[in-house]
Structure 1
């Protein structure tokens, strides 16, 4: 019997299925299937919708072979979401991966023929090996400094630097982990040696080695280029030099590339990301089609206006900074009007957390689901006050960046039970089956009245139930329906990608980790100078990035937006904090301060940004200083100290308390030499404090305000 050809969809039917509901600009993206395409997409403008419909339209119209197209994004969660959308559009066989996942897949396949032998193990975390490298070099280190050093090594590697070339390219990198550049370069080499001894590679090595193989082995490069003919890159403003090199090698001079990004959402420069590749795309590809998506479907006009105003308020900060600032896209709100953003000033951090918690409780009482509320802050250390404030009024929360959803015991147990049940059940409604199975683990239709671990366990199970209902609604119409076995497969895929379902609780997250997410109600907290912009943002470029970070936070909100700050750190403390300069002209009864680019401002292009070098001679007697401790205080041990004993004692008592709470030795907080330097210099601002040896960015962020408060209190007494 002759097999009948598959039915061919006519153009009208295809457009109805794939292009319906797209606006004119999104439709242009979806129907421009060849040649280089650059999509500048503002926050909330439907960029993922546009590019997934582009892929689906290309596959269904026969322009793309789904096995020969690679869609690349930057997080496993984003890649999983893209795969889910593509599956819903009938093109689930298109690959959507992160750069690292795509490179690892290629490295594992080509390693035997390109290198030979067994591929080294993949290192999950650098901390242990960096600590060992530090011990080999007899360098002092603590948990915070190791974290900073790991980030510095990652920056160096994605910038394609070696331990030998690091010194010449890290002139403006400060002192990561409290070490000078020479010491960091030595540690970098020692870390590489430790990896070699252990026969492991890290995530950056995956890209570096794959790039090396593609550069050196023409056969491998030809195979990859034959496999992939079309490329789509999302979040292109976050591409690092190493990732761009990988992309160039994949392309091999071809131009079947579509990139999507927004320079105003570049917030990962400290990791090596740069928006230059996005901004220079039209110059690199003169024939590129340029499309701008500016219709904001996410946020109310009030939120959109605030976001636009924040970027528009930026003023010239010198030739170098201005060259790195791209004119922002002006978003056009498409949603109905909503509430005016609320600006709240509080007396201290505790009062701010209580005020925000109370406002959240009122929102939940008026019908906003807890899962649609987020509290976003600049540093993770700010979360504790909001955890306590929410817990005290009985509002559940989830800390983004804490324990991963699929690592929770109740979730792992639930998946095991569902897998077993899928072998014995068939034909029954999936939603009810999931409820029945998870009931054995404590799930009930109504949430428990108690809080704590019981409530958290219930919320995890409830998230699985809600996901089952969501998938049934979206996929049950497909041929064959949606079974419990299909649900288990979906959970397994999401577990690998860490694509967690929604948990019913208020989200607490840093501004960086909120990228790519959105909520009905968002609270941006701690918006005071020193936290936003952060105190160690001491160049015009870094302050610009802080402005973009706040912009990302604002554009996470769909309807309600609250912005708050406090005037003191602790109850009864001196009210010496000021609202963030970014709020000047935005909050009620405020004007844009002309001093935002003046003396003492981080936007001042003439301001010196490097720490002054420690003196090599005693400032009292002129004798050469021989030890690190002497150089820290700028005084030889023979000359008497010039600090008040009471001040030094107060600093030591504070250090002892901090070390006990953190369960670390006292010198990990600050050495005696650093405390002496602080007591003698008596800095009056974070800028002055940061100029003292031994006070790096990490310690300034963690301890700066507390130290200044001690000095001010001591002066007052």
Structure 2
């Protein structure tokens, strides 16, 4: 590098400059989306090195993805800095463990486990748990969460109950699988990725000479995306630091979206308490997005409840004005997908590169209809963070089963019923699983049945051989070319990326927020942050859409996402469409979005989660049918046992109380109760209405 340290500072805004030039010691950079955090922290490393505050070889920077670590190394090399380490937590731990292993353990290093499903499967079989691939993936995820959260197998049931966590089997069985997996792994002298962190922390905590050598080598630490740190990663960081405080952390609590994997923004938010002398810098100038996109992002996140002070960043757009975000409501998902594909074509024809366009959704199962729509208009696409629909394992298995059944199938028959019968052994049940991998598999299989329904409606004499041929043709036509294409990705997979144009699709309650988050305020707020992440991926063009029915011509009883409340201008066509179609009785629409609700007793506007849930002010008298409430509770217990999910996943106590008070007589009245979306209406509506109408009021007996 030429020109000295001062040449690094050119072009920094005042807040970035304050972060870069802060003295050695604890520094916390609260960096909003698009505020140049990577440039800021890399420049800080360069400034400290070129100013002589620390040697390059004494710097260890860690982040959470190999892509982010690679970008940091590239930028450091551009500053002529080669000795500084920029790695993921796991890569850094692996390097250290390999070096210290002979002194700490004394024998040959254990091998790194290449995928844990085999051992999880053996442990599950011994514990009497199902060994289907989806179940094993969910069990592996639970083990990863427990280890990342520093929870031992014997403590797992109590911690799961405290966290109200949905589990793939009973907590006791999961704990048994977890313990069995650990025993099998140890017996085989293997380590998984979480063991790298556990053993690294233990080596430093329990061997003073190892800790001394390590801390003599590394003097300055930088942690990117600090809001995503897990308790296990924090333990490793604490072991690295010892009693020192030469630490720079960068993060944004508004982008905490991995709590399900054990991540917590608490270390970021509590940084000032731990280090009272810390320098805290806020980056709020957004250089990525237009002011219109930034304004919408601020609206989304400002509606969050109980936002900690350290998360109250308000972005300020620095780019020239751009187009307003688009909102659109559609009758059904095929219409929504067709409209998105048409808009993509318009953008491409106007000069937007395919690689600068993304369609983002909540779960991977939503991709199929958008894959179809893009293929129909000859727009290439790439699926990120998930396989293409026809490349998914469950879809390939289903297609093979259909081909086999088609060989011996007699002509004619009810095609959708025949397809459903073929898919039942593969996991297609009458009731959807509660969530996780099994739910995504179920959604994929259901989409194949709906495809059979579509074929039967257009080709009346279609049979299984005709359907098998249709699947093969669709799979071949939708295979994307190797050239650049529109990105299809889940919101989680989109974290850290950005595009000129972003389409946020399928924004309905039950999907955004996801159904199993309902009734848990913490989980709901994480879903809101996920939407915020999606909005902030867009540089210029942003579209938000939803559909009232899943299938063409289906019943339109879905409701747009509650997170969209107040975002759509009152004079926007989408607001007027929803007012005509979705207005519950005796409720007026709020500013362009979800209905403003009024107390059914006194008529005052309802404010707060519980009053809205109950449909009345908390101070107004209640008329609870205690007999109905008891029947609802007994029914919920039985359903939760049958589905093997916690009772609150079915309905929360507040929702049951609201049903017992309001005694809805039909599906429209039931779905008007806050917390009962389209998915729960489909799954439990008839049963609940039967409980309400099938017995006399307790006060009439």
Aligned 8 A contact 2:359 2:505 in 1: yes
Q: Which residue of 1 aligns with 2:376?
A: 392
| Match 2:487 to one of 493, 507, 511 | 507
Q: Shift in Å at residue 178 of structure 1?
A: 3.7
2:572 matched to 1:572?
A: no
Superposed counterparts of 1:191-202, under 5 Å: 191-202=181-192
Q: Deviations over 1:545-573 (max 9, x none)?
A: 11111111100000000000010111121
2:278 matched to 1:288?
A: yes
Distance 1:152 1:603, change over 3 A: farther
Aligned 8 A contact 2:252 2:311 in 1: no
Q: Which residue of 2 aligns with 1:410?
A: none
Please give the secondary structure, in 2, of the residue aligned with 1:86. Answer: helix
Q: Which residue of 2 aligns with 1:550?
A: 531
Please give the secondary structure, in 2, of the residue aligned with 1:170. Answer: helix
2:322 matched to 1:341?
A: no
Q: Shift in Å at residue 706 of structure 1?
A: 6.5
Distance 1:64 1:255, change over 3 A: same
Please give the secondary structure, in 2, of the residue aligned with 1:571. Answer: coil
| Match 1:355 to one of 320, 327, 339 | 339
| Match 2:44 to one of 51, 54, 74 | 54
Q: C-alpha separation between the residues in 1 aligned to 2:686 and 2:485? A: 37
Aligned 8 A contact 1:349 1:385 in 2: yes
Aligned 8 A contact 1:535 1:686 in 2: no
Q: Shift in Å at residue 174 of structure 1?
A: 4.7
Q: C-alpha separation between the residues in 1 aligned to 2:653 and 2:341? A: 31
Distance 1:344 1:403, change over 3 A: closer
Distance 1:387 1:686, change over 3 A: farther
Q: C-alpha separation between the residues in 2 aligned to 1:387 and 1:89? A: 42
Please give the secondary structure, in 2, of the residue aligned with 1:160. Answer: coil
Distance 1:243 1:701, change over 3 A: farther
* Unaligned ranges ≥5, structure 2: 389-474, 571-591, 597-605, 619-630, 660-675, 692-701
**TM-score of the pair, normalised by structure 2:** 0.71
2:150 matched to 1:160?
A: yes
Please give the secondary structure, in 2, of the residue aligned with 1:78. Answer: helix
Aligned 8 A contact 1:325 1:544 in 2: no
Superposed counterparts of 1:359-378, under 5 Å: 359-378=343-362
Q: Shift in Å at residue 125 of structure 1?
A: 2.1
Q: C-alpha separation between the residues in 1 aligned to 2:477 and 2:208? A: 56
Aligned 8 A contact 1:129 1:195 in 2: yes
Please give the secondary structure, in 1, of the residue aligned with 2:368. Answer: helix
Q: C-alpha separation between the residues in 2 aligned to 1:391 and 1:602? A: 46
Superposed counterparts of 1:388-537, under 5 Å: 388-402=372-386, 456=480, 458-459=482-483, 504-537=484-517
Q: Which residue of 2 aligns with 1:42?
A: 32
Q: Which residue of 1 aligns with 2:609?
A: 597
Over aligned residues, Cα RMSD in angstroms? 3.6
Please give the secondary structure, in 2, of the residue aligned with 1:250. Answer: helix
Q: Shift in Å at residue 245 of structure 1?
A: 1.0
Please give the secondary structure, in 2, of the residue aligned with 1:77. Answer: helix
Superposed counterparts of 1:219-234, under 5 Å: 219-234=209-224
Q: Deviations over 1:450-498 (max 9, x none)?
A: x979995542xxxxxxxxxxxxxxxxxxxxxxxxxxxxxxxxxxxxxxx
Q: Shift in Å at residue 392 of structure 1?
A: 1.3
Q: C-alpha separation between the residues in 2 aligned to 1:159 and 1:684? A: 26
Q: C-alpha separation between the residues in 1 aligned to 2:273 and 2:538? A: 34
Number of residue pairs aligned between Structure 1 and Structure 2: 537
Q: Which residue of 2 aligns with 1:117?
A: 107
* Unaligned ranges ≥5, structure 1: 1-7, 316-321, 405-450, 460-503, 607-618, 623-630, 635-670, 692-699
Aligned 8 A contact 2:15 2:281 in 1: yes
**TM-score of the pair, normalised by structure 1:** 0.69
| Match 1:561 to one of 542, 545, 552 | 542
Q: Which residue of 2 aligns with 1:613?
A: none
